[in-house]
Amino acid sequence: MAEEAKKAEVEVQEASTEKQAPVVSEAQLNPEKFLSEFNWHNYQEGIDEVDSKQLEEFEKLVAENFVDTLNDEVVEGKVVHISDRDAIIDINAKSEGVISLNEFRYNPNLAVGDKVEVLIDVREDATGQLVLSHRKARVIKAWDRVNAAHDSGEIVNGFVKCRTKGGMIVDVFGIEAFLPGSQIDVKPIRDYDQYVNKTMEFKVVKINHEFKNVVVSHKALIEADIEEQKKEIIGQLEKGQVLEGVVKNVTSYGVFIDLGGVDGLIHITDLSWSRINHPNEIVELDQKLNVVILDFDENKSRIQLGLKQLSKHPWEALAEEVKVGDKVKGKVVVIADYGAFIEVADGVEGLIHVSEMSWSTHLRSAQDFVAVGDEVEAVILTLDREERKMSLGIKQLTPDPWTDITTKYPLGSKHTGVVRNFTNFGVFVELEEGIDGLIYISDLSWTKKIKHPSEFCAVGDKLDVIVLELDVEGRKLSLGHKQTTDNPWDKYETEFALNTTHSGAIEEIVDKGATVKFNDDIVAFIPSRHLEKEDGSKLKKGESAEFRIIEFSKEFKRVVASHTAIFKEEEAKNVKAAAKKAASAAAEAKPTLGDANDALQALKDKLDGKA
C-alpha cells in the first residue's frame, strides 16, 4: 500500500509538470496572451492546480495507509521482524518503529505478522528512527477499558499475581488492581495463596483517577446469585426442618453454618448433649453436616440451628435398671463452689454436692476434693428421670465415722485435733475426717481473758482436747482445751487469800486505778484510793511496793489489792497500843478523868499529824 501511495504522488507531480511546460513555451511566443491568461491564484499559492479527481484519489490512499505521527494516539501496528532484543513494527509511517521485547514479556508467543497496539513515543530519534511503545499503549487502552467496565458493570478477567497486605494484586488489562481479602469470596478466606497465579472473573468496583488506583471484587459476582438463593431458602424455612449446611466459622460461643447463602448459628449448648469446652471439639471448618431449624425471627434474618436435637436424648437411653443406691463411675466435667458435675454417661450428668463429698461437717470447696477430668466413683442418692436430674455422693463409699463415736470418743477422753476455723464464740477442731468438735472460748484457758480465738491459736495448730459433751443424734461434740491441765486458780486461791501480802511494781496506770502483775497469771487491780502512800502521795508506774489482797474471786478470775491498807493497819495497831498503855498508866497514877482525856487527845493529834 505504501508503494501505491508513492506511485500516485509521482503521477500527480508529472501531471503538474505537463501543464506547466506549454505555458512557458506560449509565454515566449505570445507574451500578451500569456499575461491575459495567467493564473494568479496558483502563483500566490505556489502550486499548480491538480485535477480534483486525482487529488481525491490521493487523499483516499493517504488516509487508508499513512498514520498521522503528530497525534499522541494509540494505533495498530504489524510485527514485521523480531530480533534478539527488539521487535520491528510497521505502522504505515515513513519508517518502521522499534519496540524492546521487554514490553512483550507477558506474551512469550509473539510472532511476525501479529497485530499489536502501539503509541508513538519518539517520532524521530537522533538516528532518524521512529520509536514506539507497546507498554504505554496497553496502559492507555487498559484505562479506557477499565473505566468502561466500571461504568457498564461489565465482568472482566484478571490474573492474580501475588499476595499483599490485606488482599491480592490482580492484573486487569495490564493494570495492577487491588483485590481486598474481604472481596474474594462471601466466606472468610483462610489460605490466600490458593488464588495466586489463577485467572478469575472480577467486577471493577472503584477507580481513583487521582492516584491511579483500581479496586476489583470477585465477591460481588456471586452475591447476586446468593441473594436469589437466600430469598428462595428463607421463603421455605420452617421450624423443625432439617437442612444440610457447611461450617462457615467457629467461635467460642457457637458455630455459623452456611445453608446456601443464608447463615444460621448453632449455639455451643445445642451442639452436643454432653458438655464441651469449645465447638471445635465437635465440628471443623468446611465440614458438611445436617442441622435442624430451632427458631428464627420475623424477618428470618437470625436463624437458630441445632445439631444435638437430631439424636436421641441420652437420658432416654439411660438403662432402666439404674436406680438409687447403685454405684456409678464418671468423669468430672464442671466444678462449682457448691459441688461438682459428674458425667456418668454421654449427656447424663449427676451433681455431687460438697456436703456429700466428706463426712466432715466443716464444709470446704469442691476443688479440695476433685478436679476437672478426674475419674470418680459415686453412689446415686436421688434419680428423677422426668426432670433429668441425678444427685450423687462420694462419702457414702466409706463408713460413717459417727456410727461408733461413743466408743472412740467417750466423755472425758483426751485427744489431739487440728484447728480448722474460728467463730466469735469458739474454735472448731477436727479430730478425724468427719469428726469435728467445738471448743468454746471460755474453755480455751484457765487464766487468759480471750476476746477472740485467733488471740490464742491459729488455723492448722494442733490442740490437746478433752471430750466434755457428746450429742450422737445431733452429731455435735463439745471439747475443752483448758481441761487438759490443772486449774492454777485452785492453788492461787490459797496463795493469794484475803489479807495476804505480796510485793510487786505498778505495771500500768488505768482508769480508776492501776495494775500490778504478781506472776504470769495474776494481774491485780489497785483502786485509786488504795494507791496512796503513807506520806500522802500516790504510787506511780514502775514503783515497787507491798500490797495486801482485799478481794479474790476464783470464778471471775478477779484479784484486788491495796497498798494503803498496809500502813493503815499499822496505824490502827499503834492507836490500839497507845490506848492500852494510857489505860494502864491511869490505873497506877489514878489521874483525873480530865487528865486521861488530855492524854488521849494528845495521842490522837499525834496520829493525825497535828502535834
pLDDT in tens, 332-384: 988 888 899 998 888 888 999 988 888 776 667 888 888 888 899 999 999 88
The one-character DSSP state at 564 is H
Give every CB contact of residue 596 below 8 A, 6+ residues apart in sequence. 582, 586
Cα separation, 563 vs 577, in Å, equals 23
232 part of a folded domain: no
Last residue in a domain, options 397, 413, 441:
397
Q: Mean pLDDT throughout 206-232?
A: 79
The long-range contacts involving 316-320, CB below 8 angstroms and separated by at least 24 positions, are 317/345, 318/345, 318/348, 318/385
189 part of a folded domain: yes
What is the per-residue pLDDT for 603? 60
What is the per-residue pLDDT for 5? 45
* Whole-number percent of the chain with pLDDT over 90: 11
Q: What cell was used for 326? A: 447403685
pLDDT in tens, 269-283: 889 888 888 999 889
37 part of a folded domain: no
Residue 40 predicted with pLDDT over 80: no
What is the per-residue pLDDT for 194? 86
Cα separation, 505 vs 560, in Å, equals 14
22 part of a folded domain: no
What is the per-residue pLDDT for 300? 63
What is the per-residue pLDDT for 51? 60
pLDDT in tens, 172-188: 887 888 988 888 887 77
Last residue in a domain, options 279, 306, 333:
306
What band does 85 get if pLDDT is binned at 50, 70 and 90?
confident
Q: Which of 2-11, 168-177, 217-226 has the lowest mean pLDDT?
A: 2-11
Last residue in a domain, options 224, 249, 275:
224
Cα separation, 608 vs 72, in Å, equals 142
Give every CB contact of residue 129 below 8 A, 6+ residues apart in sequence. 95, 97, 98
- Between 374 and 17, the higher pLDDT residue: 374
Number of domains in the chain: 6
What is the per-residue pLDDT for 610? 47
Same domain assignment for residues 430 and 388: no
Which amino acid would we find at residue 410? P
- The answer to whether 307 and 264 are in contact (CB under 8 A) is no
pLDDT in tens, 222-257: 776 776 777 777 777 788 888 888 998 899 999 998
**In whole angstroms, how far apart are CA 79 and each of 83, 95, 112, 116, 117?**
11, 13, 5, 7, 10
What band does 607 get if pLDDT is binned at 50, 70 and 90?
low
Same domain assignment for residues 390 and 443: no
What is the per-residue pLDDT for 296? 81
What is the per-residue pLDDT for 514? 92
pLDDT in tens, 94-109: 678 888 888 887 778 8
Same domain assignment for residues 529 and 566: yes
Cα separation, 279 vs 254, in Å, equals 6
What is the per-residue pLDDT for 10? 46
What is the per-residue pLDDT for 12? 44
What band does 402 get if pLDDT is binned at 50, 70 and 90?
confident
423 part of a folded domain: yes
pLDDT in tens, 462-521: 999 999 988 888 888 899 988 888 787 778 888 888 888 888 898 898 888 999 988 877
Q: What cell was used for 604? A: 490522837
Same domain assignment for residues 436 and 381: no
Same domain assignment for residues 302 and 320: no
Cα separation, 436 vs 482, in Å, equals 18
pLDDT in tens, 387-396: 888 999 998 8
The one-character DSSP state at 126 is T
Same domain assignment for residues 318 and 393: yes
The one-character DSSP state at 532 is B
Q: Which of 182-186, 583-587, 607-611 has the lowest mean pLDDT?
A: 607-611
Same domain assignment for residues 387 and 359: yes
509 part of a folded domain: yes
What is the per-residue pLDDT for 341? 92
Residue 415 predicted with pLDDT over 70: yes
* Whole-number percent of the chain with pLDDT over 70: 78
Give every CB contact of residue 359 below 8 A, 6+ residues apart in sequence. 395, 398, 400, 401, 402, 433, 434, 435
580 part of a folded domain: no
Same domain assignment for residues 334 and 359: yes
Nearest to 270 by CA among 285, 283, 258, 287: 283
Same domain assignment for residues 458 and 531: no
Q: Mean pLDDT throughout 24-44?
A: 62
Q: Mean pLDDT throughout 397-408?
A: 83
Same domain assignment for residues 124 and 178: no
Same domain assignment for residues 476 and 492: no
What is the per-residue pLDDT for 392? 92
Same domain assignment for residues 376 and 319: yes
Task: Look up the CATH number of the domain holding residue 497.
Answer: 2.40.50.140
Residue 400 predicted with pLDDT over 90: no
What is the per-residue pLDDT for 267? 93
Domain of residue 473, residue span: 404-480
pLDDT in tens, 290-329: 999 888 876 666 889 999 888 888 887 777 788 888 889 9
431 part of a folded domain: yes
Q: Mean pLDDT throughout 557-567?
A: 87
pLDDT in tens, 124-160: 666 667 778 777 877 777 788 888 888 888 888 889 9
